[in-house]
Amino acid sequence: MYGFVNRQNSGHMHFRRAKPLHSAGFTMLELVVSVALLAIITGAIVPIYANSMNAIQQRNARHNFVSLITFIQERAVAETREYRLYIDQREQVFWVEFQIDEDLEGKHFVMVEEDYGRLQPVPRNLEIHQVRARRDRSANAQYIGCYPNGASDIARVVFRDTRDFRSGFEIETQGSMGKIEVKVQ
């Protein structure tokens, strides 16, 4: 509310407008402008944040998969037995098995019971796009064998982002000496 102040100066009356009694708030225009600015900033930041999170998830998945291959290569050498990383492209899962014996019928494998060996789904927003590796018909999956001499099967696994097929990575095991190569797309 506005009021008038009566001041007398040399016999003359002056009226001036007093300050509003409730001037501690924001005007509607200030609030609308603030909300609009926040919406614009949020609209610009959300895609950047989503892309960053996607890149982090892919990096972690890539690191975890390579670490798993490296780990089972080391276990194969340390325990002098064959390990296999099975990859089921149809079900989008992978797991680890190790050799328990070999007879006239062939090699026999069982799933590793520790956490690293259990059935693991491919991380969200990624898919196993292509696998070039040996096939185990009894397990209905392909596998990368890691041997007691430190070698691994020659294999290639391509992972793609389900939201952007141009994005992904490829992991290759290159046989002798257990060399692993990673290509990011």
Note the pTM of the prediction, 2 decimals. Answer: 0.76
The reply to whether 23 falls in a domain is no
The pLDDT, as a whole number, for residue 13 is 61
For residue 163, the number of C-alpha atoms closer than 13 Å in the C-beta half-sphere is: 10
User: In the chain, how many domains are there?
Assistant: 1
In which domain, by residue range, is 122 found? 28-184
The reply to whether 108 falls in a domain is yes
The reply to whether 81 falls in a domain is yes
pLDDT at 21 over 60: no
The pLDDT, as a whole number, for residue 175 is 84
How far is it, in rounded angstroms, from Cα 127 to Cα 165?
A: 10
The reply to whether 172 falls in a domain is yes
The reply to whether 179 falls in a domain is yes
The reply to whether 5 falls in a domain is no
pLDDT band at residue 119 under the 50/70/90 scheme: very high
pLDDT digits (tens, 9 = 90+) for 136-168: 988 899 999 999 999 999 999 999 999 887 889
The reply to whether 10 falls in a domain is no
Q: What is the gyration radius of the CA atoms in the chain, in angstroms? A: 33
Stretch among 75-79, 80-84, 174-178 having the lowest mean pLDDT = 174-178
* Amino acid, single-letter form, for residue 46: V
pLDDT at 27 over 80: yes
